[in-house]
Structure 1
Amino acid sequence: MKLSFAEGRANASERGEDVQSFSSSQRILPAWPLYSLLYGYPLIWVLGLGQFAPTILAFIMILYMVAKKDIRIFPTQWLWLVLAIWCVVCTVSLRGGSDIMAWGIRFLVIFNAGVFGLYYFNARESISSRSIIGGLVALWYTVVILGWFAIFFSDFRVTTPMSFLIPGGMLQNPLVKDYVLPPLAEVQMPWGAPEPYLRPAAPFPYANSWGLAFAFLTPVVISAMTASKRFWTKFALGISIVAGMVPAIQTSNRGMFISLTISIVYVIIRQILNGNLKIAAYALGTTVLVAVGLQLSGAVEKILGRQEYSDSTGTRSLLYEHTWQAVQKSPLVGYGTARPDYEVGISMGTQGYLWALMFCFGLIGLGLFLAFMLSSIISTASITSSAGYWLHSVPVAAACIFVIYSFDTMQMASMMLCLAMLMRSSVYREGL
């Protein structure tokens, strides 16, 4: 497999080359691995393969890329490759078998997302941006529909085929159990609360993961709605977004709404700077109406009410303080994985991806992630379409919300695929 940088529009045009031409001898990367991940995620979840299928598909994609004669890498993707290599270096801090397994879960989030983005970038002959947007919209529908099921069947767990293959002892591990016997909702009963909080989680183990997926995928749905020329498609997607707000509110997830607000504000600013004042005014007016509706419906009170019985802000603050103190003792390679904080009762290296990177992979790991995010956002900021603005808002929001949110495989993959679409469009003039 030959790796090379993808050239920007200016360099290619100066040489008079058509950047969209392909050698007939090159193998075409098939679409089915990425389609299976996105369109097939409901089946992956029902089978209990949420922690296995993405990695299996990533290795299949690698095999196809090895067979292809020429693989092009967008310049900022080298930073992601270096980050993955650095994660391997950080294994020097691991202390045993359980640490290795925990490190592996965190490493695969980075590894898989990098492979997915690279594969899409090189699959121009078989995978269009429109089809990947469709796949992400399909994933969004999976999240929303299961969110509705969680409202009505909050105590239900799916008995997957994987649950019969996993040794009984491993099922005692809460995380393993939640992956192979996945619940529809995360049921929480904070001390003093009058009733339990039933927070949609499926197809993920935790409500926060559901919220982050909703926050990253909703701008993609709006992008699809903006790009569509069919009234009924726009109407159906718009109604779906309204329906999706019901399980979203049920999660009482502040960070999710903060992320969505960042995306909306970013798009409005880009529209204003591009002179699209009418579109910006329409977006602002719609946002104000939604905000008023949430307030009048009692949704805001519900979201803030959970905080009266949960001191999550104070607990996080103390955890972050302890995490920073620990990082100073191993600033370069970190600790490889999370470690328990017995005073707080929560592991250091959790409760936010910034802290996970810093604690597990040191300040170098955090720096590489930030360098990739910022350079990718800047290098793809030349997009001028409304649909492109919404896609670009996803990494922008991710770069802000990663302070308090932890990224799992599908959330990171969604963000990476948005960036990959923008990267490919920037290099090959695909219209975003």
Structure 2
Amino acid sequence: MSMLESRAGTDDATTEWVRDPLGSDLDDRVVVRLPVVRRPRWVDQSSWPLPRSDRRLPPGWPIAAAVAGWPLWWALGVTILVFPLAAIPLAWSLHRRGRVKTPPGFLIWVLFLALVTLSVFALDVELVGTAMSSGIGRYFAFGFRLLNYLALTVMLLYLGNTTEAELPRRRVISWFCVLAVSCIVLGSLSVVMPDFTFKAPASYLLPGALQDEGGGMVQLAQVQPVLGETSPRPAAPFPFTNAWGNNLSLLLVWLVVGWGVLGSRSRRTVLLLVLTVALVPIIYSLNRGMWIGLGLAVAVAVVRLALWGRIKALLVVLAVLTVAGSVLAASPLENLISARAETGHSNEVRGSLLGTAIGAAASSPVVGFGSTRKTLGSDESIAIGPSEACPKCGARNIGSTGQLTLLLVSQGFLGVVLYLGFLFWALFSFLRDRSPLGLAGTTVVGMEIFYCLVYSALTMPLAITFLSIGLLWRNARLRRGDDVVGDGVPPEVVEVGRR
């Protein structure tokens, strides 16, 4: 035993208890207090630094590398590999722990994974009215989708099985904040430099099947004629604008918690400035799904704060909304919102593909067809297909307009029931958590359920959702006093409502 270790067990360390701002109820019905151990400064440090054999990477480092480091992997063109590779050390850590706990409703998710695996046998089954894909490419697509489902499952189990002493909830939220700010910065740059592109390094080293979408080219924005004339729509650090909007809207919830609830007064001021800047790329994205999702999230938060009697917090939210509305009204951005609201050219396409996906699920309701399929023509005629003058005409991808359509065609009605069943089970399991973390986590899960109608969940959106469920699961254990913090000391929980 080193001198430092022996003193740590015998010195006159003092323990202070502080209110946990993440786990305590907003209305103080349940107050969680965490210990802060302070040791005298004279503790001998002569044994530092630790021997090389004792140096270890911090717990959760693969999650940090995958989430906070996502912009780097995007720039390299290898995001398709991030979560499967990150899951390897996490799975090994779970194996070394022995007994692994599971979150509420996990059996439903296990059944979903089993169904996805079983649906591989339907890849070669013909679906009337669609084009059969040939070659090994469809098996690669299926394999990567299943691999990412499994990788995110491992990530959820790892986060839920760590303790507050090992991997603090604050740290995970800080990784969300890093990615949120990255999305805002890159989204703002895409408005200024919409034509900026570069060749991904991975395109020189890896085969096409292991590269991200885009043919090896990385772009800041998608330039599309949504309102008639071409305009930039933020995409980085993701391949598509819809993915940018989906992820940023989920991350903004955690940014408000990380910098608003946990931050200092100066950090809160910075938060207001960052949110103001974020309005520009959010509006320029012309992403109606994102706008609706954020609106629903704010509305639910306002109602829940009002029901809990948090008048001060409610007034802060309303003040921020008032300022944001005034900024929009006084800027040209309002014209973009009005124009986008009146332009719904994608509605017909989405409606047609949804109907086709429902028809596919009706043909194979239990296992689906394993993966997406392409229509023979357009929604008007099977004779209309891609041409040199119109490369995007016809041959539309059934399952590309949202997680719901993907599940319908890939795993049938049963897949939809199991997938949404797990998310709803998680939502209602933690809905009574009145803490800031509880409010944020359930809001994110609820938003992702709504986004199933318009966005695909793999990979980062489902990762954010699963990590949010993991945080809710950890928070519930902490609020029961069933966790380890500090030097192995359990938290102190005071339930005012039961006095």
Amino acid at match of 1:279: A
Structure 1 stretches of 4+ with a deviation exceeding 6 A read none
1:184 counterpart = 2:220: yes
Distance of aligned partners of 1:311 and 1:359 in 2 relative to their CA distance in 1, 3 Å threshold: same
1:286 to 302, 320, 324: 320
SS in 1 for 2:154: helix
Deviation at 1:310, TM superposition (A): 5.5
1:358 to 393, 405, 408: 408
Corresponding residue for residue 40 of structure 1: 69
Q: How many residues align?
A: 401
Amino acid at match of 1:216: L
Amino acid at match of 2:74: W
1:391 counterpart = 2:430: no
Give deviations 1:45-73, integer Å, cap 9, x for gaps.
22222111221111221122112222211
Amino acid at match of 1:265: A
Distance of aligned partners of 1:310 and 1:274 in 2 relative to their CA distance in 1, 3 Å threshold: closer
Corresponding residue for residue 150 of structure 2: 111
Deviation at 1:225, TM superposition (A): 2.9
Separation in structure 2 between the aligned mates of residue 229 and residue 204 of structure 1, nearest angstrom: 28
Stretch deviating more after TM superposition (31-40 or 275-284) = 275-284
Separation in structure 1 between the aligned mates of residue 153 and residue 118 of structure 2, nearest angstrom: 17
Deviation at 1:177, TM superposition (A): 4.5
Comparing both structures, which one devotes a greater share of its residues to helix? 1
Deviation at 1:107, TM superposition (A): 2.4
Conserved 8 A contact 1:228-1:234: no
Deviation at 1:42, TM superposition (A): 2.3
The 5-angstrom pairing of residues 134-145 of structure 1 reads 134-145=174-185
Separation in structure 1 between the aligned mates of residue 217 and residue 116 of structure 2, nearest angstrom: 29
SS in 2 for 1:154: coil
1:153 counterpart = 2:226: no
Conserved 8 A contact 1:150-1:184: yes
Corresponding residue for residue 24 of structure 1: none
Conserved 8 A contact 2:222-2:241: yes
Conserved 8 A contact 1:253-1:303: no
Distance of aligned partners of 1:348 and 1:300 in 2 relative to their CA distance in 1, 3 Å threshold: farther
1:408 counterpart = 2:458: yes
The 5-angstrom pairing of residues 12-411 of structure 1 reads 30-95=59-124, 96-124=135-163, 125-167=165-207, 170=208, 176-178=212-214, 180-190=216-226, 193=228, 195-228=229-262, 230-306=264-340, 311-341=345-375, 342-344=377-379, 345=394, 346-411=396-461
Residue segments in structure 2 that go unaligned for 5+ positions in a row: 1-34, 36-55, 125-134, 380-393, 484-490, 494-499
Separation in structure 2 between the aligned mates of residue 79 and residue 177 of structure 1, nearest angstrom: 31
Separation in structure 2 between the aligned mates of residue 331 and residue 412 of structure 1, nearest angstrom: 24
| TM-score (norm. length: structure 1) | 0.86
The alignment's C-alpha RMSD in Å is 2.5
| TM-score (norm. length: structure 2) | 0.75
Deviation at 1:138, TM superposition (A): 0.5
SS in 2 for 1:328: helix
Corresponding residue for residue 11 of structure 1: none
Distance of aligned partners of 1:61 and 1:229 in 2 relative to their CA distance in 1, 3 Å threshold: closer
SS in 2 for 1:275: coil
Amino acid at match of 2:175: G
Distance of aligned partners of 1:176 and 1:225 in 2 relative to their CA distance in 1, 3 Å threshold: closer
Conserved 8 A contact 2:448-2:461: no
Conserved 8 A contact 2:138-2:371: yes
Separation in structure 2 between the aligned mates of residue 306 and residue 101 of structure 1, nearest angstrom: 37
Corresponding residue for residue 424 of structure 1: 474
Residue segments in structure 1 that go unaligned for 5+ positions in a row: 1-19, 21-26
Deviation at 1:242, TM superposition (A): 1.3
SS in 2 for 1:340: strand
SS in 2 for 1:51: helix
Distance of aligned partners of 1:213 and 1:259 in 2 relative to their CA distance in 1, 3 Å threshold: same
Distance of aligned partners of 1:189 and 1:59 in 2 relative to their CA distance in 1, 3 Å threshold: same
Amino acid at match of 1:116: M
